[in-house]
Structure 1
Amino acid sequence: MSSERPWLAQYPAGVPAEIDADEYPSIVAVLESAIASYRDRPAFANLGKVLTYADIDRLSAQFAAYLLGELQLKKGDRVAIMMPNCLQYPISTFGILRAGLTVVNVNPMYTPRELRHQLVDSGAAAIVVLDNFGHTVQEAIAGTQVRQAITTGLGDLIGFPKGAIVNFVLKYVKKMVPDYDLPGAIRFRDALVLGQLQKLPKVAIDSGDIAFLQYTGGTTGVAKGAMLTHRNLVANMQQAAAWVRANIKPGDEIIITALPLYHIFSLTANGLVFMKFGALNYLITNPRDMPGFVKELSKIPFTAITGVNTLFNGLLNTPGFDKIDFSHLRLTLGGGMAVQRAVAERWKQATGCTLVEAYGLTETSPAACINPMDLAEYNGAIGLPVPSTDACVKDEDGRQLPVGEVGELCIKGPQVMKGYWNRPEETANVIDAEGWLHTGDMARMDKQGFFYIVDRKKDMILVSGFNVYPNEIEDVIALMPGVLEVAAVGVPDDKSGEAVKVVIVKKDPALTVEQVKAHARENLTGYKHPKYVEFRTELPKTNVGKILRRELRDEAAR
């Protein structure tokens, strides 16, 4: 096989070609091993409160005992979690997994319609929800199989008096907690108390059991649940851990977790991989409050941070960020969307730490390719396939293309999902007979085995028969000092079929349409020039901060 894996020659010293995906039978086994090794070390911190690995052990066991003993849930039942980053999140997640149940991560910003679809589709039997989103659950819950709502306030686990103050301010001062009525709901703290009265049985968890139903494809139509097994996630933990180990000091890491844990990137990279290393996950509940986020960062001797391009860009443009002490920072990982060269270069300049780009999908648990951690500077690639992973580029007929040619990126490895929940035909559309997952991303591979994303298949703009990739346009426009954020989309055009439109958020109020077009003419070939330039105060984004080109395209089409 190695002759077909040119990337192995580029692996950093000490990174193996293969990992053992069966070293641990389940995520729970990894958790228990971390608890045994790092019992008294801090595990999660939020709003000034710190929980140790021993605390996580005790509280997640109580929650598991509540679910099995009190709620009488059966192995394989689904439990939804609808919360931003807070201490209740890891306790719920590990409790659900220890009970042999499946976690259904729900985006808290969902509308009732989106939530109802996910609850009905997954058949969730219970939901853990933060008070701020209780009104959404109230509107969505009728006609679902949810038989127990478990509610909690952001301050509930922080201790008295601070927790009570946090809850009061959120509800009565900031008005961030709309009234809701969920008859029969139980408070999270009460569920933990009831769990203490139950004995947690030993649950046999098989590596093929579904750990997470991770919903995806909301941007492409109806959201589908990717079935991620315990083995999928253990494999991805092993792959990522092998990749970053040289940069890590087990038991000594503090990672900033600003991306929501319900998102697969944050869940695996921060919540699971760094747990394996005995790290402290510093949970940021609202990273959109950039001044508040920077203030918090200034107090923490953090060693690692993950994020998406918009998060790094936002930090770099927030006053005070340049005053932070970055002397402990050893690892910055970017994923979830393309990292722009301008952002990566500014990050290196500001922090002294290279912003290393990684690539993954919900369907690959998520890491498929990561750049070498010893990368001196941004290289524009998504990296090399991680250990035990194969990648190739295929054409429309499923033929593997040679080095340098653009086609659809396909991935094979132990981290590839079991399939989509209750959707065999959708599964067959993306996983072919040979087990290759078709990612929907257009890519090419160079002769050293580095992969480069050219664009999303469906975001590609077709101008007079020429393929135009929005990433390239955005990268070029983002290099202008007057540009804060940019999105490029294709809009209908009588002459060329489609034309390029760029939507820009200005950093410099004096920036003009003509300046943008002149810059494009200097850096892009004719058919790639933006025909339309629009300025806005903000771009539509998912709540992970990924720019929604689809919304801009739909608006233009209307």
Structure 2
Amino acid sequence: MRIERYLQDSAARDGARTAVVAGETRLSYARFLDLSTRMAATLRANGIGPGDRVLILLDNGWQAAVTIFATWIAGAAICPVNPASKAARLAQIARDCRPAVLIVEGRLEPIIQGVPELADIPRLVTGDGGSFDAGLEADPLGPETHPDTDLAALIYTSGSTGEPKGVMLAHENMDAAARSITTYLGNTASDVILVVLPLSFGYGLTQLVTAMRVGATLVIEKSFAFPQSIFEKIRDERVTGFPLVPTMAAMMLQARELDPSHFASLRYMTSAAAPLPLAHVDGLRTLLPQARLYIMYGQTECTRVSWLPPEEIDTRRGSVGIAIPGTRAEVIDEAGNPLPPGEVGELVVSGPHVMRGYWQNDAATRQTLRPDPRTGALRLHTGDLFTSDADGYLTFVARMDDIIKSRGEKVAPKAVEDVLCRMPGIAEALVVGVPHDVLGQVVKAVVVATDPALTERDVMRFCARNLEDHMVPKLVEFRDALPKTDSGKAIRRLAAAPANTIGSTA
């Protein structure tokens, strides 16, 4: 099914139901569909249609949601980009995807002027008197039908491990993922989902797509910069679903005088971006015992890979769960064959949710989508090391490129990070390997401390009591914040070098 059908079908079932809440704006499904259809007419009037890419540079808000669905109704593909992106990233994406039109916030026009690659691209501008607003008054065109094999989204990876690549997701890929996710989360039209994650980020975009599929209400907030206001929004809108990332969990657990009654309506929380430290898992469950916590693992290349049923959290400590419904996930050796339970290998994924490939990057596509030696069918090589138990429950070990080799031993950064996050006075931690003349590499810990009295020696002693000797950090650096991508993922390669601001080593 094409994704715009989600909105059309939900509006047909109950057009009066609230679809989107953004600030003071509340849009019913009927109004949301009307605005999206009118915006699609504007796009078509500007020559936008099947095969075109629409570069969307908008803050989280109702305009972004309308633009996304309008693009699909027009038959084109979205290329959403975080408005906080720097000029160099915008230039790289523009060169790569060659958009037919740019839809941009009026406040960002000065930045656009500094990107020559965007200078000649037609644009629609939001804001007072902007062409976006005028376009919403255009006569809507009648519906058109397009195949679900069409490209729906071109989402550029965060670039946390190198140059960002454009992930091609067809409507059928996104539909398969949305159907699976809403099944195990038990989403219905009565859900109210709050998203502070960027809609330009796969995890955030999925909240919009799944909400429209079941006819739920999506509450869109621009960011998590002011947590207390978000908590009040959860209370006031009676939010039932709250997707978060580890940084948000850390901020919630540090919040002073957090009132649990704000979260009385919360049915579930999800975590699907970076691995959620066990200390955060335990803290969230203690803080909000009535809300089911769904720990998940995913990649932009397939949206989701696995989910851990909340009732399995205690018995499957550290696991990210089993393959999502309708898909397959296996841990394989270097020859591509399945490994027995407990053995470490690369995770590969098969299913209708797997991407079509990387935009105009055949070499990267061939490296990532490779045939199963048993069947010849293509499967996604995640580049992540996992173990699997006899029941198919997966446990993340590390990215293949992140493994630290010290004293001839292999160290998985996440194992050290989990211990660091259990230490009182530490909010977040990132572990990397740095070169050493004798040992090959040594473990370096970059931490965000809530206790200003904490020292490097304190951290090392705590780790020495809880880790094997070769896993104990030999370098500790304190920072105000971890280096992160726009989507909130910590960037290891930027943590390897000392920060220019706060930092000390032992």
SS in 2 for 1:136: helix
Equivalent pair of 1:123/1:144 in contact (CA under 8 Å): no
1:351 partner amino acid: L
* Map of 2:159 onto structure 1: 218
Equivalent pair of 2:404/2:441 in contact (CA under 8 Å): yes
* Map of 1:191 onto structure 2: 135
Matches within 5 A, 1:54-73: 54-69=30-45, 71-73=46-48
Deviations 1:439-473 (A, max 9, x none): 01110101111000101111111112211111110
State the distance in 1 between where 2:489 and 2:117 align: 32
State the distance in 2 between where 1:296 and 1:361 align: 29
Equivalent pair of 1:294/1:315 in contact (CA under 8 Å): no
Equivalent pair of 1:316/1:322 in contact (CA under 8 Å): no
Kindly state the Cα deviation for residue 317 of structure 1 after the two structures are TM-superposed: 1.5
* Map of 2:374 onto structure 1: none
Kindly state the Cα deviation for residue 376 of structure 1 after the two structures are TM-superposed: 5.6
Aligned CA-pair RMSD = 1.8
SS in 2 for 1:363: coil
State the distance in 1 between where 2:149 and 2:96 align: 21
Residue 452 (structure 2) aligned to one of 505, 509, 514: 509
1:549 aligns with 2:486: no
* Map of 1:42 onto structure 2: 18
SS in 1 for 2:474: strand
State the distance in 2 between where 1:51 and 1:523 align: 52
Q: How high is the TM-score relative to the length of structure 1?
A: 0.85
* Map of 2:335 onto structure 1: 397
Kindly state the Cα deviation for residue 145 of structure 1 after the two structures are TM-superposed: 8.1
1:123 aligns with 2:98: yes
Deviations 1:333-353 (A, max 9, x none): 101100111111111111112
Q: How high is the TM-score relative to the length of structure 2?
A: 0.93
Matches within 5 A, 1:129-208: 129-140=104-115, 142-144=116-118, 147-153=121-127, 186-193=130-137, 195-196=138-139, 199-208=140-149
2:475 partner amino acid: Y
1:101 aligns with 2:76: yes
Deviations 1:470-507 (A, max 9, x none): 11101001001111111111111111111001111111
State the distance in 2 between where 1:374 and 1:272 align: 26
2:50 partner amino acid: K
The verdict on how the C-alpha distance between 1:209 and 1:554 changes in structure 2, with shifts beyond 3 A counting, is: farther
Matches within 5 A, 1:13-412: 25-69=1-45, 71-140=46-115, 142-144=116-118, 147-153=121-127, 186-193=130-137, 195-196=138-139, 199-216=140-157, 218-245=159-186, 248=187, 250-268=188-206, 270-352=207-289, 353-364=291-302, 366-375=303-312, 377=314, 379-412=317-350
Identity of aligned residues (%): 32
Kindly state the Cα deviation for residue 309 of structure 1 after the two structures are TM-superposed: 1.0
State the distance in 2 between where 1:121 and 1:492 align: 34
Kindly state the Cα deviation for residue 254 of structure 1 after the two structures are TM-superposed: 0.9
Kindly state the Cα deviation for residue 552 of structure 1 after the two structures are TM-superposed: 0.9
State the distance in 1 between where 2:118 and 2:313 align: 52
SS in 2 for 1:339: coil
Kindly state the Cα deviation for residue 388 of structure 1 after the two structures are TM-superposed: 1.7
Equivalent pair of 1:104/1:213 in contact (CA under 8 Å): yes
Residue 384 (structure 2) aligned to one of 441, 446, 454: 441
SS in 2 for 1:343: helix
1:152 partner amino acid: T
In structure 1, stretches of 5+ residues that fail to align are 1-24, 157-184
1:335 partner amino acid: A
Residue 453 (structure 1) aligned to one of 393, 396, 413: 396
State the distance in 2 between where 1:376 and 1:411 align: 23
SS in 2 for 1:286: coil
Deviations 1:131-172 (A, max 9, x none): 3322222211x345853222224xx6xxxxxxxxxxxxxxxx
1:44 partner amino acid: V
Kindly state the Cα deviation for residue 54 of structure 1 after the two structures are TM-superposed: 0.8
State the distance in 2 between where 1:147 and 1:437 align: 34
Equivalent pair of 1:354/1:375 in contact (CA under 8 Å): no
Kindly state the Cα deviation for residue 200 of structure 1 after the two structures are TM-superposed: 1.4
SS in 1 for 2:340: coil
Equivalent pair of 2:113/2:119 in contact (CA under 8 Å): no
State the distance in 1 between where 2:487 and 2:167 align: 18
Kindly state the Cα deviation for residue 299 of structure 1 after the two structures are TM-superposed: 2.6
Equivalent pair of 2:158/2:487 in contact (CA under 8 Å): no
State the distance in 1 between where 2:254 and 2:445 align: 21
State the distance in 2 between where 1:331 and 1:293 align: 16
Equivalent pair of 2:112/2:119 in contact (CA under 8 Å): no
1:539 aligns with 2:476: no
State the distance in 2 between where 1:422 and 1:549 align: 27
Equivalent pair of 2:309/2:321 in contact (CA under 8 Å): yes
- 104-113 vs 519-528, which moves further: 104-113
1:118 partner amino acid: I
Kindly state the Cα deviation for residue 554 of structure 1 after the two structures are TM-superposed: 4.4
In structure 2, stretches of 5+ residues that fail to align are 372-376, 500-506
1:255 partner amino acid: I
Kindly state the Cα deviation for residue 422 of structure 1 after the two structures are TM-superposed: 1.0
SS in 2 for 1:104: strand
The verdict on how the C-alpha distance between 1:111 and 1:370 changes in structure 2, with shifts beyond 3 A counting, is: same
State the distance in 2 between where 1:47 and 1:62 align: 22
Kindly state the Cα deviation for residue 274 of structure 1 after the two structures are TM-superposed: 2.0
State the distance in 2 between where 1:327 and 1:144 align: 46
* Map of 2:361 onto structure 1: 423
SS in 1 for 2:182: helix
SS in 2 for 1:436: strand
2:196 partner amino acid: A
SS in 2 for 1:508: coil
The verdict on how the C-alpha distance between 1:99 and 1:373 changes in structure 2, with shifts beyond 3 A counting, is: farther
Kindly state the Cα deviation for residue 399 of structure 1 after the two structures are TM-superposed: 2.6
The verdict on how the C-alpha distance between 1:145 and 1:414 changes in structure 2, with shifts beyond 3 A counting, is: farther
SS in 2 for 1:227: strand
Kindly state the Cα deviation for residue 288 of structure 1 after the two structures are TM-superposed: 2.0
State the distance in 2 between where 1:481 and 1:529 align: 17
* Map of 1:169 onto structure 2: none
State the distance in 2 between where 1:457 and 1:65 align: 46
SS in 2 for 1:321: coil
Equivalent pair of 1:291/1:319 in contact (CA under 8 Å): no
Deviations 1:518-543 (A, max 9, x none): 11111100100100111122211112
